[in-house]
Amino acid sequence: MPSVTFDHVTKRFGDVVIVEDFNLEVADGELLVLVGGSGSGKSTLLRMVAGLESVTSGTIRIDDRDITHLAPRERDVAMVFQDYALYPHLTVRDNLSLGLKLRKVPKPEIARRVAWAAGMLGLEALLDRKPKQLSGGQRQRVAMGRAMVREPLVFLFDEPLSNLDAGLRAQMRIEIGGLQRRLNTTTIYVTHDQVEAMTLGDRIVVLANGTIQQVGRPIELYRDPVNRFVAGFIGSPPMNFIEGRLDRNGGAAFVADGVRVELGGEREPVPVAAPVTLGIRPEDISLVAAGMATSPVSGTVVLVERLGGTSHVHLDVGPNRLMAAVSQEQLPAVGERIEVYVPSARVHLFDAGGKCRTARP
């Protein structure tokens, strides 16, 4: 089974750098998610693996084979496109089998593979339909089937779920994950949706401006983001950030207008008085019951969103807006002044350059 290696891969359009010195090895059978905003270079990286974009410098290998300059059809990779890219004039059966016909696969073998993929994806009843007679989710399945029957070395997914509505997206996400684990085919999956990245990826690569911000397992990125970009990108609802500085007065503490968080003695990540940003996830903040021990963080409730299981409490703390995700029944009223508990063990501190200074080793 194959691995995919990016070796100093750079892509430029004229003077514009799309991807800068990208190095990565996708392990055999791994599902690697490339996640980032628009313009981060994630789709360009995928298209370079497919051969649909040229590589300015560096090499891409599948196992030990250098594919950097091969034509798309010589690479033995299959891609699922955002708009599915089904052949509109062909039936589902012919959509699935065209790639095999072009590669002169014997007819009984084509029939066997089409039946196998159709069975796996529940497409048996749809084989004689045209794409326009299918729903969005069915088209998505046909697109995956077309990739599967090829039995390629590598699957490439380019934002495959972004044209589906929310409910279907969650369902197809589960199906893609299950399918990939069963087939165990090396997969590179591009998305801008961090929920897809967290739930699907064996590992996630967070990209910004064509460079890797962080590579790791989903939980590592969640727990130990290396910089402010990753911290803000991974996790939903997003992490709260408060600008402030460090205070040495009676043990290291983060201070800002209306905020004081004790950091515990041994941690002194940045020089005292240097500007620093504190990051805390909404789910790590808890509300302090009225009349209990006083907390150094207090604010005014500006909005309460009840989602059923959890609720989002938005409060103004000095000039900063904080959001706490809590699961309790008793919620404060808008306009009420409340205290919140910010556990120091869950706090991330970022220096002026955005680098995280509290990352665990």
Partner 1 sequence: MRAEARSGTLLSAPYVLFLLAFAAYPVAFALALVLMHWDLVTTPSFAGLDNVKLLATDTRFWQAVGNTFVFLGLHLPLQIVTALALAVALNRPMMFRAFWRAAFFLPVVISGAVVAILWNALYATDVGLINALLVKAGIAPVPWLTDPRVAMAAIAVMVTWKNVGFYVIIYLAGLQYIPRSCQEAIELDGATAWQRFRHLTLPLLLPQTILVLTLSTINGFQLFIEPYVMTGGGPLRRTFSVVLYMYTNAFSYQKMGYAATIGVALAMIIGTVVAIQRKVVGTAEAL
- Shortest gap between Cβ of 310 and partner 1 (angstroms)? 39
In the complex with partner 1, which residue's Cβ is closer, 76 or 351?
76
Q: How far apart are CA 133 and CA 135, in angstroms?
A: 7
In the complex with partner 1, which residue's Cβ is closer, 109 or 305?
109
The total of other beta-carbon atoms located within 10 Å of residue 294's CB is 8
In the complex with partner 1, which residue's Cβ is closer, 103 or 248?
103
142 HSE (CA, 13 A, CB side): 31
In the complex with partner 1, which residue's Cβ is closer, 71 or 333?
71
- Shortest gap between Cβ of 338 and partner 1 (angstroms)? 51
- Shortest gap between Cβ of 66 and partner 1 (angstroms)? 18
- Shortest gap between Cβ of 83 and partner 1 (angstroms)? 5
In the complex with partner 1, which residue's Cβ is closer, 50 or 221?
50
- Shortest gap between Cβ of 115 and partner 1 (angstroms)? 19
The total of other beta-carbon atoms located within 10 Å of residue 292's CB is 9
Q: How far apart are CA 191 and CA 202, in angstroms?
A: 14
Q: How far apart are CA 357 and CA 227, in angstroms?
A: 9
- Closest by alpha carbon to 68, among 24, 129, 6, 15? 6
If phi > 0 it is left, if psi is from -120 to 50 it is alpha, else beta; for residue 146 that is alpha
- Closest by alpha carbon to 175, among 236, 114, 113, 122? 122
Q: How far apart are CA 81 and CA 143, in angstroms?
A: 8
In the complex with partner 1, which residue's Cβ is closer, 92 or 313?
92
What residues form DSSP beta bridges with 280? 240
Q: How far apart are CA 159 and CA 84, in angstroms?
A: 10
- Shortest gap between Cβ of 287 and partner 1 (angstroms)? 49
Reading across the β-sheet that carries 320-326, which strands appear in turn? Answer: 286-288, 337-341, 297-306, 311-317, 320-326
- Shortest gap between Cβ of 235 and partner 1 (angstroms)? 32
Q: Which spans in the chain are helix H? A: 42-50, 92-102, 107-121, 136-149, 166-183, 194-200, 218-223, 228-233
In the complex with partner 1, which residue's Cβ is closer, 17 or 98?
98
Residues that bind partner 1 in the complex, under the rule CB under 8 A: 50-52, 71-73, 75, 77-79, 81-89, 98-99, 102-103, 146, 150
In the complex with partner 1, which residue's Cβ is closer, 73 or 107?
73
- Shortest gap between Cβ of 93 and partner 1 (angstroms)? 13
